[in-house]
């Protein structure tokens, strides 16, 4: 199987296409807004409260949720309406709050993401205006963008390729902004014709963005697809879904991804939507729950942790693949637009000579445990050790992990979302 993977990578080294990765077999977390602050919904539609309304500080309600860089704890942005402020709370897997951060300028927090360095990237509407903040784990704030140009951020995402911040505005301008990783005013990617919403999700194989729309009446809401190079197309119009609250691109094991959308056509409904046909399959309807944000329960399958100067561990965590062989590939080539595999699936990864050499074991002590077996918990640790090389800076390394199974199509059971290691 490994030799077949090497052959596929060699064959497709310069090929192009668009979509991949695995179904989220253990369901999704939904941030509440009302009702439970955090809800887990499995694939059968069963609902379990993860955080009760009393779990967040000062009666706050969850507006977005993401997995921390350790992949085992949750970061929840919350806000209150009565006294007009919010923050970011960090919870362990048992629901115990580990920390609580609130912006110096006060005001609402409307979203949070985790950047490549493990910092909170926070969208805030404070007493002195809108701001995009970077916050380290000691609570130190750096303002990345502020003032009228930002104009009311309502959702945030981080571009998988560049690390730029994608911000949706909830103001009358309804702009979708790209703000450089170093900060600044940014540039407008698109102007949303129906108003911007609560969530942005990126197709990891072509860079397209999916943005919800909630500001107009229920009959005109929708999910909008914004092409990476600009230009908007309506993915799901309001006459089908009503006012869309959240969207997440679910990279299924099939050749075509689906979107998970939460909408208010008939109560608050979580549904799976076919990206090509917009056919809708309802997963569950949720009472007293406004569903402003969706994230897969399993979180990141791969994360990097620096273990020494110019040395990193790549932590693989996939309980559903326990006991299976895995393989890890590196590339110096940005992932878009990806490659199409022989079975129709697509891979958000563009192999190059580094990929082939690493999988073939030709890079010796620089790369260790790049193939192996996931343990009974579905975990393994690979190592990238560049300590013996001259210093390398300004070069991103793309990391792709797959789980292997001889019974799966072309021997690839699971294709995990790619990650990037910036040197």
Backbone angles phi, psi at 168, to 5 degrees: -95, 135
pLDDT score recorded for residue 116:
73
Q: How do 419-422 and 396-404 pair as beta strands? A: antiparallel
Domains of the chain, first to last:
2-18+301-422 (2.20.130.20), 28-296 (2.120.10.30)
This prediction's pTM: 0.79
Q: Are residues 387 and 309 in contact, defined by beta-carbon separation less than 8 angstroms?
A: yes
Query: d(Cα 240, Cα 159) in Å, to the nearest integer?
Result: 29
* DSSP β-ladder status, 325-331 and 302-308: unpaired
Q: Do the beta carbons of residue 328 and residue 371 sit within 8 Å?
A: yes
Residue ranges of E strands in 325-395: 325-331, 339-340, 346-347, 367-368, 371-373, 379-385
Q: Are 284 and 236 in contact (CB under 8 A)?
A: no
Structure confidence at residue 143 (pLDDT): 92
Q: What pLDDT, on a 0 to 100 scale, did the predictor assign at position 16?
A: 27
The confidence score (pLDDT) of residue 108 equals 81
* pLDDT tens series, the chain, 423 aa: 555 555 544 444 333 222 223 345 578 888 876 667 888 888 888 988 888 878 888 778 888 888 876 666 889 988 876 556 789 999 987 788 999 999 888 878 888 998 877 889 998 887 777 889 999 888 899 999 887 667 667 788 888 778 889 988 765 567 888 999 889 888 888 877 666 567 888 887 678 888 887 554 444 567 788 887 777 777 765 545 555 578 887 764 444 567 777 776 556 788 888 777 778 888 888 876 677 788 877 666 787 888 888 899 998 888 778 999 999 999 998 887 777 788 777 777 888 889 888 888 888 889 999 999 999 988 999 999 998 888 888 888 999 998 999 888 788 888 887 888 887
Cα–Cα distance list, 128 to 147, 245, 318 (Å): 8, 27, 44
């Amino acid at each position: 199987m490994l030799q077949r993977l090497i052959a596929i990578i060699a064959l497709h080294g310069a090929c192009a296409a668009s979509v991949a990765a695995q179904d989220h077999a253990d369901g999704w977390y939904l941030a509440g807004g009302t009702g439970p602050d955090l809800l887990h919904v499995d694939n059968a539609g069963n609902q379990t409260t993860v955080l009760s309304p009393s779990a967040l500080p000062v009666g706050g309600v969850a507006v977005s949720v993401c997995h921390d860089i350790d992949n085992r704890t949750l970061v929840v942005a919350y806000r209150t309406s009565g006294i007009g402020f919010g923050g970011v709370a960090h919870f362990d897997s048992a629901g115990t709050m580990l920390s609580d951060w609130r912006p110096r300028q006060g005001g609402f927090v409307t979203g949070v993401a985790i950047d490549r360095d493990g910092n909170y990237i926070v969208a805030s509407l404070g007493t002195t205006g809108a701001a995009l903040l970077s916050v380290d784990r000691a609570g130190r704030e750096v303002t990345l963008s502020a003032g009228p140009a930002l104009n009311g951020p309502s959702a945030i995402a981080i571009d998988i390729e560049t690390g730029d911040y994608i911000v949706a505005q909830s103001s009358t301008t309804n702009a979708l902004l790209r703000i450089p990783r170093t900060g600044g005013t940014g540039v407008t990617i698109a102007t949303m014709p129906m108003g911007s919403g609560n969530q942005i999700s990126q197709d990891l194989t072509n860079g397209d963005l999916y943005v919800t729309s909630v500001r107009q009446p229920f009959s005109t809401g929708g999910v909008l697809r914004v092409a990476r190079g600009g230009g908007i197309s309506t993915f799901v119009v309001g006459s089908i879904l009503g006012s869309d609250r959240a969207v997440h691109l679910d990279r299924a094991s099939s050749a075509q991804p689906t979107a998970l959308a939460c909408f208010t056509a008939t109560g608050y409904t979580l549904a799976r939507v076919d990206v090509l046909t917009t056919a809708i399959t309802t997963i569950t309807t949720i009472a007293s729950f406004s569903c402003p944000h969706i994230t897969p329960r399993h979180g990141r399958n791969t994360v990097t942790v620096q273990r020494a100067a110019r040395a990193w561990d790549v932590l693989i965590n996939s309980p559903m693949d326990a006991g299976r062989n895995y393989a890890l590939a590196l590339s110096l080539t940005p992932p878009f637009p990806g490659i199409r595999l022989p079975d129709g699936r697509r891979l958000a990864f563009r192999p190059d000579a580094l990929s082939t050499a690493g999988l073939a074991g030709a890079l010796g002590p620089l790369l260790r445990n790049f193939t192996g077996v996931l343990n009974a918990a579905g975990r393994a640790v690979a190592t990238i050790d560049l300590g013996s090389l001259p210093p390398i800076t300004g070069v991103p390394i793309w990391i792709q992990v797959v789980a292997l199974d001889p019974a799966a199509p072309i021997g690839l059971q699971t294709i995990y979302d790619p990650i990037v290691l910036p040197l």
